[in-house]
Amino acid sequence: MKLNRCIKTLLIATALTLPLTAMAAPTPIVIKFSHVVAQHTPKGQAADYFKKIAEERTKGRVKIEVYPNSQLYKDKEEMEALQLGAVQMLAPSLAKFAPLGVKEFEVFDLPFIFDNYQELHKVTQGPVGAKLLSKLESKGIHGLAYWDNGFKVMSANKPLKTPEDFKGQKLRIQSSKVLDAQMRSVGANPQVMAFSEVYQALQTGVVDGTENPPSNLFTQKMHEVQKYVTLSDHGYLGYAVIVNKKYWAGLPADIRTILEGAMKDATVYANDIAKKDNEQALAGVKKSGKSQFITLTPQERAAWKKAMDKAHKDNMGRIGADLVQEVYKATGYSPN
Ligand code: LMR
> For every residue of 155-211, which 3-state class applies, written as one string?
EECCCCCCHHHHCCCEEEECCCHHHHHHHHHCCCEEEECCHHHHHHHHHHCCCCEEE
CB 97 within 8 A of CB 177: no
Residue 23 pLDDT grade (very low, low, confident, very high; cuts 50, 70, 90): low
Task: Compute the average pLDDT of residues 243-261.
Answer: 97
Calculate how far, in angstroms, residue 22's C-alpha sits from the geometric centre of ligand 1: 42
DSSP 68: -
* Cβ of residue 212 lying under 6 Å from some atom of ligand 1: yes
Atom 5 of ligand 1, nearest CA residue: 93
Residue 46 is assigned to a structural domain of this protein: yes
Does 9 have pLDDT greater than 60? Answer: no
User: Under DSSP, is residue 154 helix (H, G, I), strand (E, B) or coil?
Assistant: strand
> Is residue 47 within a helix (H) or strand (E), and if so which, with residue range?
helix 42-57
Calculate how far, in angstroms, residue 106's C-alpha sits from the geometric centre of ligand 1: 14
* Cβ of residue 195 lying under 6 Å from some atom of ligand 1: yes
Give the chain's length: 336
Spatial separation of the C-alpha atoms in residues 242 and 308, rounded to whole Å: 30
Residue 8 is assigned to a structural domain of this protein: no
DSSP 223: G
* Cβ of residue 37 lying under 6 Å from some atom of ligand 1: yes
Q: Containing domain of residue 36, as a range?
A: 24-331
Residue 273 is assigned to a structural domain of this protein: yes
DSSP 295: -
* Cβ of residue 93 lying under 6 Å from some atom of ligand 1: yes
Over residues 152-171, the pLDDT tens digits come to 999 999 999 999 999 999 99
* Cβ of residue 241 lying under 6 Å from some atom of ligand 1: no
Identify which of 43, 70, 77, 93 to mutate to test ligand 1's pocket (most ligand atoms within 8 A of the CB): 93
Strand bridging mode 29-34 / 89-90: parallel
From 120, 129, 171, 182, select the one nearest 313 (Cα to Cα): 182
Rounded percentage of the chain residues whose pLDDT exceeds 90: 90
Residue 26 has what pLDDT?
A: 80
Residue 324 has what pLDDT?
A: 98
* Cβ of residue 36 lying under 6 Å from some atom of ligand 1: yes
Residue 12 is assigned to a structural domain of this protein: no
Residue 41 has what pLDDT?
A: 98
- Ligand 1 atom index nearest CA of 36: 8
Task: Compute the average pLDDT of residues 293-297.
Answer: 98
User: Under DSSP, is residue 293 helix (H, G, I), strand (E, B) or coil?
Assistant: strand
Residue 11 pLDDT grade (very low, low, confident, very high; cuts 50, 70, 90): very low
Residue 336 has what pLDDT?
A: 74
Residue 38 is assigned to a structural domain of this protein: yes
Residue type, 243: V
Residue 5 pLDDT grade (very low, low, confident, very high; cuts 50, 70, 90): low
Task: Compute the average pLDDT of residues 307-319.
Answer: 98
Quote the pTM value: 0.92
Q: What is the CATH number of the domain that holds 181?
A: 3.40.190.170
Tally the domains of the chain: 1
Residue 6 is assigned to a structural domain of this protein: no
Average pLDDT, the chain: 94
Residue 258 has what pLDDT?
A: 98
Task: Compute the average pLDDT of residues 197-214.
Answer: 98
Helix axes 321-331, 298-319, angle to 10 degrees: 150
Calculate how far, in angstroms, residue 211's C-alpha sits from the geometric centre of ligand 1: 10
DSSP 111-129: TTS-SSHHHHHHHHTSHHH
Task: Compute the average pLDDT of residues 187-216.
Answer: 98
Q: Picking from 14-28, 32-46, 202-216, which range would have the lowest pLDDT averaged per residue?
A: 14-28
Calculate how far, in angstroms, residue 103's C-alpha sits from the geometric centre of ligand 1: 17
Task: Compute the average pLDDT of residues 244-249.
Answer: 96
* Cβ of residue 174 lying under 6 Å from some atom of ligand 1: yes
Identify which of 33, 34, 35, 36 to mutate to test ligand 1's pocket (most ligand atoms within 8 A of the CB): 36
- Ligand 1 atom index nearest CA of 75: 2
Residue 7 is assigned to a structural domain of this protein: no
Residue 4 is assigned to a structural domain of this protein: no
Does 104 have pLDDT greater than 80? Answer: yes
Does 264 have pLDDT greater than 70? Answer: yes
Task: Compute the average pLDDT of residues 194-222.
Answer: 98
Neighbours of 47 (CB within 10 A): 28
Residue 335 pLDDT grade (very low, low, confident, very high; cuts 50, 70, 90): confident
Calculate how far, in angstroms, residue 132's C-alpha sits from the geometric centre of ligand 1: 20
Q: Picking from 62-66, 141-145, 249-253, 332-336, which range would have the lowest pLDDT averaged per residue?
A: 332-336
Identify which of 96, 151, 216, 226 to mutate to test ligand 1's pocket (most ligand atoms within 8 A of the CB): 216
DSSP 69-114: TTSS--HHHHHHHHHHTS-SEE--BGGG-GGGT-GGGGGGGSTTS-
